[in-house]
Amino acid sequence: MQRIVLFVVYRLIMRPLLRFVLGIKWDGESDFRRYKQFILVANHNSHIDTMALMSSLTLKQLQNTHPVAASTYFGKNKWLGWLSTFFVNTILIERSHEGNGPKALDVLHNHLQKGHSLIYFPEGSRGKPEELQSFHKGIGVLLQQNPELNYIPVWIQGTGKILPKGAHLPVPFEATLTFGKPRQAHASNVDAILDEVKNALLSLKTN
């Protein structure tokens, strides 16, 4: 049921809307079509980012791919939490310094063990358009724990103009999601992995 809903929402409604009305383009997305499990790692400027990334997934991938979001933001009330869990397939986690629920990374690690995929914004929150902020450690730890797992760097250009932080009205502007080739982390310590991922993202920016 949810699978059909997600397919209708993202492939049939959201994608044409994003493409023809907002002016979003997906570049190189076909490379990860055949992958069952992966982490999409992207820079983050706008709520549009999650929508655009979800719209790039296939029917099979949609149900088992979860954007990772902060519960303090999307879990503010039950209604919003349910909406984002059902329609965006979100995993709500608590930022490391807040609350005392289960450790966020354990939750994510469990999902990965089940074979699920993640959409991950290592900057944590939306930053200034086209500027990469410093990364939170989480992505490095996950890739260290799961060295066989493929991650796909995605550079998102221009969505910060469509719907920047604090704005409520999306305004059409051209934006591009550039997908890199799926790859595994080579380094073994967390900081080196973070650098690797960061460079992978930045290398897509210049193209």
Which window, 86-94, 108-116, 158-166, 197-205, contacts another protein (CB under 8 A)? 158-166
Query: Minimum Å distance from CB 23 to another protein?
Result: 5
Determine, following the binding rule CB under 8 A, whether residue 161 of this chain makes contact with another protein: yes
Given the complex with another protein, which of 4 and 171 has the nearer CB atom?
171
Beta bridge partners of 177: 26, 156
Backbone angles phi, psi at 149, to 5 degrees: -75, 135
Q: Whose CA is closest to 144, among 192, 99, 98?
A: 192
Taken in order 63, 124, 83, 106, the sign of the CA dihedral is positive
Query: Minimum Å distance from CB 38 to another protein?
Result: 23
Determine, following the binding rule CB under 8 A, whether residue 176 of this chain makes contact with another protein: yes
Determine, following the binding rule CB under 8 A, whether residue 158 of this chain makes contact with another protein: yes
On whether the CB atoms of residues 153 and 198 are closer than 8 A, the answer is no
Determine, following the binding rule CB under 8 A, whether residue 167 of this chain makes contact with another protein: yes
What 3-state class would DSSP assign to 93?
Answer: strand
Given the complex with another protein, which of 24 and 190 has the nearer CB atom?
24
Give the gyration radius of the chain's Cα atoms.
16
Determine, following the binding rule CB under 8 A, whether residue 171 of this chain makes contact with another protein: yes
- If you search the block for the tokens 């982390």, which residue do you land on? 185
Q: Give the footprint of another protein on this chain (CB under 8 A).
A: 20, 23, 25, 27, 158, 161, 164, 167, 169, 171-174, 176
